[in-house]
């Protein structure tokens, strides 16, 4: 696991956008895994800026979302599908149908989860998966206790996650209880995992994910089992890490040709 500590969220966005740009240069039809939430916004903003300058194209790429609320009407402004379209995918040149998410309105949710797994596999798997982390160490919507081998499935949100997401729904009561999320095992199948976090609320979950024991109680800690993980943090989100000096030295001494 490589930990990169940056001075600003703009730098965080730029470093991760570099990795995505370089992936698309090598493989224009790459499969991206997209996350919602505020953490990846600097990445999307930087990609939008590069797209506007003609430096990057998503015309042959595909994308899969991590998760979706169950039961929000199609087009609801807070469905993750709407959020990612508004903040990123509709503003670049993805082809129609190239961006997929779990169908939280399916009559048969179990079948929808299986179909989503098949769609990811048929696309050849995810090349680069962007991730944020929840206050309790969740990735996607894999709450504590999630099997580290789990696949896309229905989950029930914890009370804390519903409180955390209430800001988008006026009140916690309006936050759906149920979601569909890629499983921890699904996420670990991606070839490169890039977790981004900024701000003081992330210091504790980041320390648990990066340096704590691997445990289903902190689903993000499963990233320690993956061969290619990059964690990009601002100074505050990195502030509870025991080995932060070592991560800084390693990054400063990294040969530029290595990339992320």
| Active site annotation includes 85 | no
**135 burial type by CB count under 10 A (0-12 exposed, 13-18 middle, 19+ buried):** middle
> Catalytic: 138?
yes
Shortest distance, position 80 Cβ to ligand GLP, whole Å? 7
Q: CB 195 → ligand GLP: shortest distance, Å? A: 9
Q: Which residue's CB is nearer to ligand GLP, number 23 or number 157?
A: 157
Please state the φ and ψ torsions of residue 51, each to the nearest 5 degrees: -65, -45
Count of residues for the chain? 260
**Sequence-ordered list of residues with C-beta below 8 angstroms from that of 228, at least 6 positions apart, any chain:** 191, 192, 193
Residue among 55 and 103 whose Cβ is closer to ligand GLP:
103
> What is the nearest approach in angstroms of ligand GLP to the Cβ of residue 136?
9
- 67 is a catalytic site residue: yes
Token pair of 149, please?
């081998």
Active-site residue, from 46, 117, 138, 164: 138
Please tell me which residue in 67, 117, 127, 189 is annotated as part of the active site. Answer: 67
Could you give the CA distance from residue 195 to residue 203 in angstroms, rounded to a whole number? Answer: 13
Query: Which of 94, 33, 92, 20 has the alpha carbon at shortest distance from 63?
Result: 33
For residues 142 and 181, is the Cβ–Cβ distance under 8 A? Answer: yes
Q: How far is the CB of 219 from ligand GLP (least distance, A)?
A: 11
Determine which one of 46, 103, 117, 143 is catalytic: 143
Residue pair 183/142 in contact by the 8 Å Cβ criterion: yes
Q: Which residue has the tokens 């290595």?
A: 258
Nearer to ligand GLP, 61 or 195 (CB): 195
Least Å distance, CB 21 to ligand GLP, is 22
List the catalytic residue out of 68, 103, 127, 136. Answer: 136
Contact 62, 50 (CB under 8 A): no
Strand partners, 128: 32, 192
User: Of 67 and 127, which has the nearer Cβ to ligand GLP?
Assistant: 67
Active site residue 136: yes
Rounded least distance, CB 253 to ligand GLP, Å:
30
Residue 57 or 82 with smaller CB distance to ligand GLP: 82
Q: Compute, in degrees rounded to 10, the torsion defined by CA atoms 185, 188, 190, 193.
A: 150
Binding site for ligand GLP (CB under 6 A): 35-39, 66-67, 132-134, 140-141, 161
Residue 218 has phi, psi (to 5 degrees) of -130, 85
Q: So which residues are the catalytic ones?
A: 67, 136, 138, 143
């Amino acid at each position: 696991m490589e930990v990169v500590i940056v001075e600003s969220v703009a730098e965080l966005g730029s470093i991760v956008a570099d990795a995505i740009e370089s992936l698309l240069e090598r493989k224009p039809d790459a499969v991206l895994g997209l996350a919602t939430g505020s953490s990846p916004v600097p990445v999307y903003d930087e990609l939008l800026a590069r797209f506007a300058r003609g430096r990057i194209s998503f015309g042959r790429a595909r994308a899969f979302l991590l998760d979706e609320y169950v039961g929000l009407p199609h087009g609801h402004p807070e469905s993750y599908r709407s959020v990612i379209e508004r903040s990123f995918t509709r503003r670049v040149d993805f082809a129609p149908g190239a961006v997929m998410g779990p169908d939280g309105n399916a009559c048969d949710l179990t079948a929808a989860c299986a179909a989503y797994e098949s769609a990811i596999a048929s696309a050849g798997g995810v090349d680069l998966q962007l991730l944020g982390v929840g206050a309790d160490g969740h990735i996607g919507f894999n709450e504590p206790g999630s099997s580290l081998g789990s696949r896309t499935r229905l989950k029930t949100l914890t009370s804390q996650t519903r409180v955390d997401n209430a800001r988008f729904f006026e009140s916690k009561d309006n936050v759906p209880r149920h979601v569909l999320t890629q499983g921890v095992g699904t996420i670990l199948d991606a070839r490169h995992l890039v977790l981004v976090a900024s701000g003081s609320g992330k210091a504790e979950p980041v320390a648990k994910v990066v340096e704590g024991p691997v445990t289903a109680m902190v689903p993000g800690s499963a990233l320690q089992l993956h061969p290619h993980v990059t964690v990009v943090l601002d100074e505050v989100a990195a502030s509870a890490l025991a080995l932060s000096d070592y991560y800084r030295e390693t990054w400063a001494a990294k040969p530029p040709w290595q990339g992320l």
